[in-house]
Structure 1
Amino acid sequence: MNFIIWIVIGGIIGWLASLVMKTDAQQGMFLNVVVGIVGALLGGWLLSPLFGTGTINSDDFSPMSLLVSFLGAVILLAIVNLVFRGRAR
């Protein structure tokens, strides 16, 4: 059951991050899920020590862990934009 929640929350986080980074028109539902989950991994690696919380990947669904996962997804999309387009939006 946690896996399904993880997929759904990852999709929502990826979708919100794509709205913030203005890449929503280029992404489908599957890519939003991937961005949400990989962004949560990145956020867990970079931001979790700063905020002192887990991410959705560690089965922590607190508001702070959702924020860290969201920020990780935004950072991931910014890195992808820098690599493929030469600028972050």
Structure 2
Amino acid sequence: MGIIGWIVLGLIVGAIAKLIMPGKDPGGILVTMLLGVVGAFVGGLIGKFIFGTGLNEFWSLQTWILAIVGSLIVLGIYRVIVGRKAVKH
């Protein structure tokens, strides 16, 4: 899968992660979708280390599940980090 495929996948799964984990995010949907791009990468790494396979084909169910899980992880970490900063100020 090429870099454009990664970006498109990340943008879509970022929006899906936002639907799965609703709530207020600093930066809104655009930041959430960009976090989805990072999450797709993280999901690929998780798949590679745990299952021995990462993100393969754009239309593969495995690719989408790994990317969504990675996006949920990144979104959760982002909320924890940004939430702590908001409480301190």
Q: What amino acid is the match of 2:79? A: N
Query: 1:60 corresponds to which residue?
Result: 57
Query: 1:38 corresponds to which residue?
Result: 38
Structure 2: gaps spanning 5 or more residues:
85-89
Q: What amino acid is the match of 1:49? A: F
Q: Name the SS for the 1:22 alignment partner.
A: coil
Q: CA RMSD in A?
A: 2.4
- Measure, in 1, the Cα distance between the counterparts of 2:43 and 2:82: 21
Query: 1:6 corresponds to which residue?
Result: 6
- Measure, in 1, the Cα distance between the counterparts of 2:24 and 2:72: 12
Q: Name the SS for the 1:82 alignment partner.
A: helix
- Measure, in 2, the Cα distance between the counterparts of 1:5 and 1:43: 14
Distance 1:47-1:4 versus aligned 2 partners, 3 A rule: closer
Query: 2:87 corresponds to which residue?
Result: none
Query: Given that residues 39 and 67 in structure 2 are in contact (C-alpha distance below 8 angstroms), is that contact kept between their aligned partners in structure 1?
Result: yes
Query: 2:67 corresponds to which residue?
Result: 69
Query: 1:47 corresponds to which residue?
Result: 47
Query: Given that residues 7 and 33 in structure 1 are in contact (C-alpha distance below 8 angstroms), is that contact kept between their aligned partners in structure 2?
Result: no
| Normalised TM-score (structure 2) | 0.69
Equivalenced residues, count = 81
Query: Given that residues 10 and 33 in structure 2 are in contact (C-alpha distance below 8 angstroms), is that contact kept between their aligned partners in structure 1?
Result: yes
